[in-house]
Amino acid sequence: MMIDEQDNAILRLVKERGEAKRRRAALERELRAAGKSLCDIGGALKNSSVVRFRNGIDNVLPKLQSVPAICDLSRVTTMLEELKEVETRLAQLNRIAAEMGID
């Protein structure tokens, strides 16, 4: 491989790896936010008892109304699948970088 080709390959690798790391971080942030919201709702539902059911409903309804769209379970599933793909690609890029002597 010529020097220019090798430099271009390294540059592409570094850029793609940086993009993959940024996407992974964004997905992890979104998933943490979804997890926190779902945990809050789950806790409110768990703490609702038959005796305090009316108060439980009054506690849960505002939480449900303020749930971000990110908590949609199909959205969470999509994000997890994408995160899996990003992690796989990042592992490949890290192996290539190691073989090229970048890391």
Structural domain boundaries of the chain? 3-99
* 24/2 Cα distance (integer angstroms): 33
pLDDT tens-digit map of 22-70: 999 999 999 999 999 888 888 877 776 655 556 667 767 777 777 778 7
- Global pTM value: 0.79
Contacts 24+ apart (CB under 8 A), 26-30: 27/79, 27/82, 27/83, 27/86, 28/83, 30/70, 30/79
Segment 82-95 mean pLDDT: 97
